[in-house]
Amino acid sequence: MAGLRTSVCCISLLLCMSLCLADQVKVNVRGVTSIARTDDTFVCATLDWWPSNKCDYGMCPWGQAGILNLDLSNKILANAIKAFNPLRIRIGGSLEDQVVYQVGNAVKKFPHFKKKADGLFGFSRGSLPMDRWDKLNALFNETNVKLSFGLNALIGKRKAKDSSLYEGDWNPQNARDFMAYTASKGYKIEAYELGNELCATGVAAKLTPEQYGKDIITLKKILKELYPDPSNQPKVMGPAGFYDTEWFQRFLEATGPDVVDVVTHHIYNLGAGRDPELINRIQDPFYLDEIAQTHRDLSKTVEKFGPWANIWVGEAGGAYNSGGRDVSHAFVNAFWYLDQLGMTSTFSHQSFCRQALIGGNYALLNTTTFIPNPDYYGALLWHRLMGTSVLQINHNGSPYLRAYAHCSKRKPGVTVLLINMSNSTSFDVSVNDDVNEYPDEYKLTANTGATPREEYHLTPKDGNILSDVLLLNGEPLVLTSTQDIPSLNPKLVDPASPITVAPDSYVFATIRDFKAPACA
């Protein structure tokens, strides 16, 4: 019996050692030159038009979170936006091409999106009253939002017989009246976007690239009339849909130089919200890598056919049809979201708009309580820590360890994001300056220096990756007694020690003594 106990103890000890010992990983950051740049307001979130009876898979997850029924006086909502200072917001979505603006000659009042079997996405037209628009802008002004607005691109068009193709020129009168009203009120609009997901095969409707290009040119002309001073003229964005090489090329050729300021595309690379494989895809680095080809191809297309334009991910919810009920709002979704932020930044995308700020299962804020979901804090930390210069980074470890590096935001040094998708392996990460052929005075082992390293370790409550409660350095992130966003304070670590990345976690680490020439 004693021998049996000894054997069991030995097996337990070996098991513990295999589980407790972390993999040693060397991460190399090339600090001499940057590989890409992002906009200073890279993190963006969307507000959508969906009414409360927008339902998928027997669920109706939008509640009172649509543009027309959202509680604009909610203090948590305002504080959540203010914390970014600024947050970029894009107003748009599937129903934007059925919105009539109640201004000018548009005196007929449409109901607020009623169910209609033969309507786009199963809904009738809806309308935006100007008093609602005034209240929205009061919130945006108070919270310092950088706002982009998606216009109805289908007004004046006719549906082709037995096809989702819409034909004819865009009638811009209602949109022009709306933009003129907006300008007269002094409301700040960063950009106007025309239509939603009308490119290539479309979703519920589509346009040819030549026709869409013609309509975009019309929008540009109107903005030049309404805003003759180029310094305050809103940008033109499009086509706000899924990337297709031929369609995007023909569209950019049709518009010609200096018409489209921002090329926008949408990402829903995780599949349907009800797909049982959703949670597995989020944790599969090989699957997540597949979307990189889209970012790469679009970057090449814009470089060749529209080098005057920037690129945004204009809408990305991960899983379509409002996201996954148990997954998209939980801690685990960060493996997709933060990896996408890191990946798109390496392809010089200037902004990444998360669907949605509030509403659906994929919201950054809980649709009912407005309390931030885990991804909200990941987005906020990215916004505060990751600067605009993207650095090359690589490592010799497991593919389940993802790594991204940027010059730190408004402070010296470099910030790395380390994402551990493994549920069993921890990593002890040493960060090194990979300068190779450059002079010795640039060489640096980043885990050295006099200044403490600043670390933000994000883990789920009780180790449950489906938890909505996020821990920062072991402490739960909860709103203050005044419903403010809590302070996000790092722990200070001896810079000579490795960065330990626990299983199912992610870490932002700022290394102040990393003297990267690209960040000077």
Nearest Cα residue to 189 out of 219, 155, 223: 223
What letter does residue 233 receive in the DSSP assignment? P
Phi, psi of 299 (to 5 degrees): -60, -40
Do 61 and 358 meet the contact criterion of CB atoms below 8 Å apart? Answer: no
Establish whether 315 is a catalytic residue: yes
Bridge partners, 453 (sequence order): 493
Residues 6+ apart with CB under 8 A from 483: 75, 76, 79
d(C-alpha 90, C-alpha 96), whole Å: 12
Instruction: Give the end-to-end CA distance of the chain in Å, rounded to a whole number.
Output: 67
Do 415 and 400 meet the contact criterion of CB atoms below 8 Å apart? Answer: no
Establish whether 225 is a catalytic residue: no
Helix (H) or strand (E) holding 87, with range, is strand 87-91
Do 132 and 147 meet the contact criterion of CB atoms below 8 Å apart? Answer: no
Tokens of 162: 């037995």
Nearest Cα residue to 154 out of 198, 122, 199: 198
Rg of the Cα atoms in the chain: 24
Bridge partners, 23 (sequence order): 427
Answer whether the bond into residue 86 is a cis peptide, omega within 30°: yes
Which one of 96, 193, 315, 455 is the catalytic residue?
315
Which one of 96, 190, 193, 197 is the catalytic residue?
197
How do strand 470-472 and strand 475-476 relate by DSSP bridges? antiparallel
CA distances from 379 to 336, 382, 459, 484 (A): 12, 5, 15, 16
| Residues annotated catalytic, as ranges | 197, 315
